[in-house]
Amino acid sequence: MPAVVVLLMTGAATLIGVLPTYDTVGALAPWLLTFLRVLQGLSAGGEFGGAVSVMTEFAPPGRRGLYGSWQSFTVALGLLGGAGVAALLATVLTEGQLGDWGWRLPFLLTLPMGLGALWLRLRLDETPSFESLREEPLPERPPGREVARAIALGAGRIMGWAAAGYTFLVVLPSYLQSSLNATFQQALVATVLANLGFAATIIPAGLLSDRIGRRPVMLTGALLVTVLAVPLLNLLQNTGTSNAVKGGAVFVAGAVVGLMAGPGPAMLSEMFPTSVRYTGLGLAYALSNAVFSGCAGLIITETIKRTGSVDIPAYYAAVTCAVSVLALLTLRKEPVRQGS
Cα dihedral: 286, 67, 64, 61 (round 10): 150
Residue 336 falls inside a structural domain: no
Rounded CA separation 299/281 (Å): 25
Rounded CA separation 204/291 (Å): 28
Work out how many domains the chain is built from and give that number. 1
pLDDT tens figures, 215-249: 999 999 999 999 999 999 998 888 888 888 988 99
Contacts of 294 (CB under 8 A, 6+ apart): 41, 166
Among 165, 154, 161, 160, residue whose Cα is nearest residue 268: 154
pLDDT digits (tens, 9 = 90+) for 136-163: 555 556 677 888 888 999 999 999 999 9
64 located within any domain: yes
Give the structural domain span for 155: 2-137+146-328
Residue 7 is which amino acid? L
pLDDT at 8: 82
Task: Give residue 334's pLDDT.
Answer: 46
Nearest residue to 30 via CA among 42, 38, 22: 22
Taking the alpha carbons of 151, 153, 159, 162 in that order, is the dihedral positive or negative?
negative
In whole angstroms, how large is the CA radius of gyration of the chain? Answer: 20
Residues contacting 260, CB < 8 A, separation 6+: 158, 160, 161, 164, 165, 205, 218, 221, 222, 324
Cα distance between residue 53 and residue 269, in whole Å: 7
Domain assignment present for 37: yes
Residue 16 lies in a domain: yes
Q: Which residues of the chain have pLDDT under 50?
A: 334-340
Decide: 49 and 282 in contact? Cβ < 8 Å.
yes
Q: Does a structural domain hold residue 48?
A: yes
Residue 246 lies in a domain: yes
Is 335 contained in some domain?
Answer: no
CATH code of residue 18 = 1.20.1250.20
Question: pTM for this structure?
Answer: 0.82
Structural domain includes residue 298:
yes
- Give the residue among 7, 21, 201 at the shortest CA–CA distance from 111: 7
Mark out the alpha helices in the chain (DSSP H runs): 2-16, 22-25, 28-58, 64-92, 95-97, 104-122, 128-135, 144-166, 172-179, 184-212, 214-237, 243-261, 264-269, 274-288, 296-307, 312-328
Query: How far does the chain reach from its first CA to its final CA, in angstroms?
Result: 23
Whether the Cβ atoms of residue 282 and residue 226 lie closer than 8 Å to each other: no
Instruction: Report d(CA 166, CA 180) in Å as an integer.
Output: 18
